[in-house]
């Protein structure tokens, strides 16, 4: 078993869109966002570009999982079809498993 320090910081998050009251809160915290606020279907809207995944968001966990599993696949590991949290690879005749 091992841990990847700052795991979520390795995954990138797609652009995000905030609407309504949350936009007002964001602009209160940082008034520089005001110039990027638009109206969309009668609601104040703010599009933002997030540089890295945000810890605690469900999307962040999924993005990290996708990044991790594609990296393992590139290294020759195969995801276990019965348990998607396990990846297997035979190295020098020995079975290696990452959980």
pLDDT surpasses 80 at 73: yes
Are the beta carbons of 53 and 11 closer than 8 angstroms?
A: yes
Structure confidence at residue 2 (pLDDT): 62
For the segment 31-55, the average pLDDT, to the nearest whole number, is 87
pLDDT surpasses 60 at 23: yes
Could you give the strand order of the β-sheet that contains 43-48, starting from the edge strand earlier in sequence?
16-19, 43-48, 37-40
pLDDT surpasses 90 at 45: yes
Q: Out of 21-25, 52-56, 62-66, which region has the weakest mean confidence (pLDDT)?
A: 52-56
Helix H or strand E encompassing 55:
none
pTM given for the model: 0.57
What CA–CA distance (Å, rounded) separates 80 from 3?
20
pLDDT class of 1 with cuts at 50, 70, 90: low
Q: Out of 12-21, 25-34, 56-65, which region has the weakest mean confidence (pLDDT)?
A: 56-65
Structure confidence at residue 44 (pLDDT): 92
* DSSP SS3 for 87: strand
């Amino acid at each position: 078993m091992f841990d990847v320090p700052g795991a979520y910081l390795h995954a990138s998050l797609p652009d995000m869109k905030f609407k309504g009251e949350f936009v007002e809160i964001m602009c209160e915290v940082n008034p520089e966002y005001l110039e990027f606020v638009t109206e969309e279907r009668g609601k104040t809207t703010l599009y933002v570009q997030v540089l890295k995944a945000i810890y605690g968001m469900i999307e962040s966990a999924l993005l990290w999982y996708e990044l991790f599993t594609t990296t393992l696949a590139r290294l020759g590991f195969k995801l276990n079809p019965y348990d998607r949290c396990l990846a297997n690879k035979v190295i020098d005749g020995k079975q290696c498993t990452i959980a």
